[in-house]
Amino acid sequence: MESAEFDLILVGGGLASSLIAWRLAIDRPELKVAVVERDGRLGGKHTWSFFDGDISTEDRAWLAPATPHRWEDGYEVYFPGLSRTLETPYNSMTSERLHEAVDAFLGEHVQDGPFDAERERALIARGWKAN
């Protein structure tokens, strides 16, 4: 990777930073964004689920590449002695797919390793040179 200066460095590549980086790549492609993730993989190992009404139709379309599971006709919930049908469509996003989607935008700008303030400050001061 060549030396580069970043407009924004997001520390911790969890759900929040991943979505910020992804959205900026779409809306502000001129910005150079880095994500520093200690585990080397965005999003950890999670499944995030949401109803259609939780986010806008537009945002659901944006997140579709990271959302491999969708229950269009709603789903059934079972407890001991109780069951219920929820008719609102439901979606599940996985960290594997989130990583794939965001990594495709960030590419080599995803930095592995724990955040080290002194190291990061030095990198920013002289322009980032990864690895």
Q: Which residues bind ligand FAD (CB under 6 A)?
A: 11-17, 36-39, 44, 46, 48-50, 114-115
Q: Please report, as a single letter, which amino acid is at residue 101.
A: A
Minimum CB distance to ligand FAD smaller for 11 or for 130 = 11
> Comparing C-alpha atoms, which of 110, 116, 42, 101 is closest to residue 68?
101
Rg of the Cα trace of the chain?
18
The nearest distance, CB 83 to ligand FAD, in angstroms, is 21
Minimum CB distance to ligand FAD smaller for 81 or for 99 = 99
Minimum CB distance to ligand FAD smaller for 15 or for 32 = 15
The nearest distance, CB 95 to ligand FAD, in angstroms, is 9
